[in-house]
């Protein structure tokens, strides 16, 4: 599809020439029609890296610099931004997601993309970090890291991760880096479980998760991360938790009323929190993990395709034939 080339419209804007983008599980929600009213013709894509093309007067970048964007756009100056609550900024946006989160902002699965508040949203890509790795810092790896951080994973913990997609798998990797003694992933798809096992993790069907965790020797997972975004997954996560455990839901939830095991949660005195990844706040820490060689997000890439092949990539990703696709622009 041809669209107008984006231009600098505000002094804090930067236009980026995209070199790499990715398709995310979040993109599947509109793709599957789960978001009624999502505008047809929306330029998708909130995970991208590239090169500075055009710079607004107040944006601290130079043409030609390698950069990546945070998926979440925020002003960086309001009361909430100053508290680090970028997702609750009155000017919040999500690239390529129509008006689901703030005002519509064309995404990065395109040749060029306009990045507002570039002094906040855009970051330079260090020389020893590839564009492909940087794409992950702009969302999925920072999101996985945020979940592990919000769950307060500490050395020796048993951690359960519900959903072994890219977010879940990278959350498992981050949990290991944080010192988890045991990490168990749950996913209904055998290939997803095999991939998790290839990364050295235990992997079970969701229906078996609670039973493998609550045994004579063990009493559930102290930290549980739900990385699916469905009612069933959230309930599964709550059942996996140990007494006084923490469950972090990082899957995107759209449900107006989730069946909730309140009795179980009360009896175990669980903490449940929801988590939106925040690359603006976390990218420095995540970049440091990559540069130290402790996490390499490229290990979860299953397909590298050209931008022209995006329709095919979406179809295959929807059918779970693709684990994580990087689009080469």
Ligand X SMILES: NC(=O)c1ccc[n+]([C@@H]2O[C@H](COP(=O)([O-])OP(=O)(O)OC[C@H]3O[C@@H](n4cnc5c(N)ncnc54)[C@H](O)[C@@H]3O)[C@@H](O)[C@H]2O)c1
Interacting residue ranges for ligand X, rule: CB under 6 A: 24-26, 28, 139-140, 143, 162-168, 186-189, 192, 206, 227-230, 232-233, 236, 250-252, 275-277
CB of 256 to ligand X, least distance (A): 16
Distance CA 11, CA 55 (A): 8
Give yes or no for residue 137 binding Zn ion (CB under 5 A): no
CA separation for the pair 70, 139 (Å, rounded) = 6
Residue 266 CB: number of other CB atoms within 10 A? Answer: 9
Q: Which residue in 19, 21, 26, 176 binds Zn ion (CB under 5 A)?
A: 26
Distance CA 283, CA 120 (A): 11
Which option in Zn ion, ligand X, none does residue 74 bind, with CB closer than 5 to 8 A by kind? Zn ion
- Measured on CA atoms in the order 186, 227, 249, 159, is the torsion positive or negative? positive
Contact letters for Zn ion, residues 35-74 (x by CB under 5 A): ---------------------------------------x
Using CA atoms in the order 26, 13, 81, 93, what is the torsion angle rounded to 10 degrees?
A: -30
Min separation Cβ 162 and ligand X, Å = 5
Tell me which residue has tokens 């929801």: 274
CB of 88 to ligand X, least distance (A): 13
- Tell me the C-alpha distance between 56 and 136, whole Å: 26
Q: Note whether 23 binds Zn ion by CB under 5 A.
A: no
Q: Which is nearer to Zn ion, 75 or 276 (CB)?
A: 75
Alpha carbons 306 and 120: distance in angstroms, whole number: 29
d(CA 246, CA 224): 6
> Which CB atom, from 6 or from 297, has the smaller least distance to ligand X?
297
Q: Is 94 in the site for Zn ion (CB under 5 A)?
A: no
Q: Which residues bind Zn ion (CB under 5 A)?
A: 24, 26, 74-75, 78, 81, 89, 139
């Amino acid at each position: 599809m041809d669209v107008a080339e984006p231009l600098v419209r505000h002094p804090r804007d930067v236009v980026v020439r995209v070199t790499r983008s990715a398709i995310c599980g979040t993109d599947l929600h509109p793709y599957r029609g789960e978001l009624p009213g999502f505008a047809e013709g929306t330029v998708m894509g909130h995970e991208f890296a590239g090169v500075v093309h055009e710079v607004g007067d107040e944006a601290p970048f130079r043409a030609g610099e390698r950069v990546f964007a945070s998926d979440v756009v925020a002003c960086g100056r309001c009361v909430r931004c100053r508290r680090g609550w970028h997702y609750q900024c009155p000017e919040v946006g999500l690239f390529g997601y129509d008006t689901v989160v703030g005002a519509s902002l064309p995404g990065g699965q395109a040749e060029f993309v306009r990045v507002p508040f570039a002094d906040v949203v855009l970051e330079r890509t260090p020389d020893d970090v590839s564009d492909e790795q940087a794409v992950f810092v702009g969302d999925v790896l920072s999101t996985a890291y945020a979940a592990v951080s919000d769950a307060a994973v500490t050395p020796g913990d048993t951690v359960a991760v519900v959903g072994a997609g890219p977010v879940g798998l990278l959350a498992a990797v981050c949990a290991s880096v944080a010192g988890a003694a045991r990490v168990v992933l749950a996913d209904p798809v055998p290939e997803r479980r095999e991939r998790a096992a290839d990364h050295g993790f235990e992997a079970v069907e969701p229906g078996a998760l609670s039973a493998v965790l609550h045994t004579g020797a063990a009493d559930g997972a102290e930290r549980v991360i739900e990385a699916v975004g469905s009612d069933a997954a959230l309930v599964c996560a709550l059942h996996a938790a140990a007494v006084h455990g923490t469950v972090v839901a990082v899957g995107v939830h759209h449900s107006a009323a989730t069946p909730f095991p309140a009795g179980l949660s009360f009896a175990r005195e669980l903490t449940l929190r929801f988590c939106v990844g925040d690359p603006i706040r976390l990218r420095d820490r995540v970049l440091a993990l990559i540069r130290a060689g402790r996490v390499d997000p490229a290990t979860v890439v299953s397909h590298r395709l050209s931008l022209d092949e995006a329709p095919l990539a979406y179809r295959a990703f929807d059918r779970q034939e693709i684990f994580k696709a990087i689009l080469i622009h």
